[in-house]
Homo-oligomer: A and B are copies of this chain.
Amino acid sequence: MAGLTAPLLGLERKSLREQALSALRTAITSGELEPGRHLVETELSEMLQISRGTLREALRQLEQEGLLSAGPRGRLSVRHLDEKEIRDIYAVRAALESLAARTLCELPDRQQVTESLHKAVDAMDAAANGTLEERIESDLEFHRTLCRLTGNETLLHSWESLEGSIRMSIMFAGLEKGVSNMSVDRHKDIVAAIDTGDATLARKTILEHMDTAAANLVA
């Protein structure tokens, strides 16, 4: 955990709080802060080189994202996911993304959508031989794009609130398991289904994708 990098190095435009937020998110979803780990404010603030006040704002946000769980007396620790919780998270994720797929099919101007999705899949292709982290990243970026393209800000926001939990699920399940459902082909199927404009088909394809993904994680 000594490697929690100073937040100062990034772009100067982000507030310290946001920098701390990403640093902590990364630390947690990368396993640097292992599940169940107890977090001490003074320790973290010193480690991140920010004041306790600023840190606490970031912690509140992480708590609401489901990356931290609160114990008695405000004690925070890194959330630990069991298999049921992973299934639950993926059920919600499936509900959100199937809404996204359906919405995309019903959009008037689908040219832009098709184009962006193909670009996202291409990015996955490019990352296919990269590190595991790169593949996870491009995978999540694809699904985030799916939500963003709907133009439904609330949908995107809800998905992003879940993103941390999704990352933890993948991490918790052990990286080996998580790989199989990140195949580029399955995502091409999704894009193809959306391209047809058949909302029912698109929805079904996404749901199946989520099902196998969740099944792989808890297998």
Contacts and interface: CB of A to CB of B under 8 A. Distances in A.
B91 A103 contact: yes
A157 B67 CA distance: 13
A61 B65 CA distance: 10
A86 to B, nearest CB: 10
Interface stretch (A37-45, A119-127, A135-143, A148-156): A148-156
Interface in A83-108: 85, 88-89, 91-92, 94-96, 98-99, 103
Interface stretch (A158-166, A172-180, A194-202): A158-166
A57 interface: yes
A16 to B, nearest CB: 12
A30 interface: no
Chain A binding surface SS class: helix
A61 B70 CA distance: 15
A15 interface: yes
A66 interface: yes
A74 interface: yes
Contacts of A66: 154, 157
A186 interface: no
A53 B59 CA distance: 13
Interface string A180-209: 000000000000000000000000000000
Nearest to A95: B99
A60 interface: yes
A165 B95 CA distance: 19
Contact of A99 (B57, B64, B85, B91): B91
Contacts of A75: none
A164 B153 CA distance: 15
Nearest to A161: B161
Nearest to A160: B64
A190 B57 CA distance: 40
A91 B153 CA distance: 11
4 closest pairs, A vs B, by CB? A95-B99, A88-B152, A95-B95, A88-B154
